[in-house]
Amino acid sequence: MQDPFFIDPDIRKAETLPSHFYTSSEVLALAKEKIFVPSWQWITDYPFSQKINSVYPFSFIKGFIDEPLLITKDQNEIVHCISNVCTHRANLLVEEPITKKNIVCRYHGRKFLLDGTFDSMPEFKTAENFPRPCDHLQNLPLEQWHNLFFTSLDNRVPLKSTLDFMDQRIGFLPLDTMIPDPDRNKEYTIAAHWALYCDNYLEGFHIPFIHNDLNQVLDYGNYKTIIDDHCNLQIGYGEKDNDIVFELPEGHIDYGASIAAYYFWVFPNMMFNFYPWGLSINVIRPISIIETKVSFYTYVYDSTKLDKGAGSGLDKVEMEDEAVIEAVQKGIRSRFYDKGRFSPTMERGVHHFHRLISTYLNT
């Protein structure tokens, strides 16, 4: 029997994921374990500059995979990502950011070092075979990319090749000095499946039909998608009269081109949108098969270019996207629709996304 989620590797022949993928709670539960658990996730809301002996609690994917985790910085200035669950009785260890040399469980006093190592425990002197390896806090893989941190619950796929792919284009930017601008952060709740949001993001096909203002500053005819293993890049070239473009250094792979935006998507649910003014990180969090939370986080390295060019009016662009995505959510349930076809020229990113989903669901 043919795999229901099979995607032909030849985009000229391929059909999209079936509507069942977007409408089944069972498939969403399967995607949670097979797609999201092994994924890498950006540690959102991480303080831009972290102090020694600081401890910061967060969830892996808040509201969807609420695995309690901690990011810490010890006295040697080494950053760790560890479990936030006490190995004695599963109490949450830290609920608010703190600055301490160690972590002490307020339930029974079990103490851990900031790297997760068990340190001490009252009333356990006569316990045999204690402490065991499982009495330490679980350490998780941690990747630092400039001033951004990422972790995974199951380090199945290395992240480094993805970060190198991104650096090839934007490594020249002053990313280590960019400043978070929380006043520009936004959160949106959309009445649609999480993957429909990604489908829409991964193609510029809809821009002239949905985004009139954005279409005025981007050269649709030169829009390009570049595929990597677990990441892809959409390059937004600027129109001739758009002077808000990157100043690319000599030797850059795109040197001489008028580029208004680099749109990176990292499987399965993260977008890193680079503009001449800075970076907008978009994190897509499933809530249910009919609801998704989208969070925008803003980092600035050139405030003189804010609100200009392709990186302006992001809230308006988002509202336009949400309107069409929510309409697709209604249509995807139709008895008269199951699968569509891909545009070989404009939907290579969507095809790549669907192939990755198919691969992970069948792993």
In the chain, ranges of CATH 2.102.10.10 domains: 42-152
Give 104-126 pLDDT, tens digit per residue.
999 999 999 999 999 999 999 99
In the chain, ranges of CATH 3.90.380.10 domains: 163-361
Mean of the pLDDT values across residues 132-143?
97
Give CA torsion, residues 239, 241, 246, 250, to 10 deg: 90
User: What pLDDT score does 157 carry?
Assistant: 85
User: What pLDDT score does 302 carry?
Assistant: 95
Give 313-335 pLDDT, tens digit per residue.
898 999 999 999 999 999 999 99
Q: How far apart are CA 265 and CA 75, in angstroms?
A: 35
Give 32-66 pLDDT, tens digit per residue.
999 999 999 999 776 655 789 999 999 999 999 99
pLDDT of 236 above 70: yes
CB atoms within 10 A of CB 171: 12
User: What SS3 state is found at 175?
Assistant: helix
How many residues are listed for the chain in this entry?
363
User: What pLDDT score does 147 carry?
Assistant: 87
DSSP one-letter string for 158-173: -SHHHHHHHHHHHTTS
CB 120 within 8 Å of CB 113? no
Side chain identity at residue 232, one-letter code = N
Give 203-227 pLDDT, tens digit per residue.
988 988 999 888 888 888 888 999 9
User: What pLDDT score does 240 carry?
Assistant: 76
- Whether the full predicted model's pTM is greater than 0.75, yes or no, is yes
Could you give phi then psi for residue 188, rounded to 5 degrees? -130, 140
Picking from 234, 235, 259, the residue whose alpha carbon sits closest to that of residue 309 is: 259
Q: How far apart are CA 71 and CA 55, in angstroms?
A: 6
Please report which residue ranges of the chain form alpha helices under DSSP H.
Answer: 19-23, 25-31, 160-170, 194-201, 207-210, 212-217, 314-331, 348-361
Give 156-195 pLDDT, tens digit per residue.
888 999 999 999 999 999 999 899 999 999 999 999 999 9
pLDDT of 21 above 90: yes
User: What pLDDT score does 47 carry?
Assistant: 65
pLDDT of 90 above 70: yes
Buried b (16+ CB within 10 A) or exposed e, 10-48: ebeebebbbbebbeeeebbeebeebbbbbbbbbbbebee
CA 108 to the chain's CA centroid? 36
Mean of the pLDDT values across residues 237-241?
84
Mean of the pLDDT values across residues 302-316?
91
Mean of the pLDDT values across residues 23-31?
97
Could you give phi then psi for residue 168, rounded to 5 degrees? -55, -35
Q: Kindly state the percentage of the chain with pLDDT values over 70.
A: 98
User: What pLDDT score does 311 carry?
Assistant: 87
Fold adopted by 42-152 = Rieske Iron-sulfur Protein (2.102.10)
Fold adopted by 163-361 = Naphthalene 1,2-dioxygenase Alpha Subunit; Chain A, domain 1 (3.90.380)
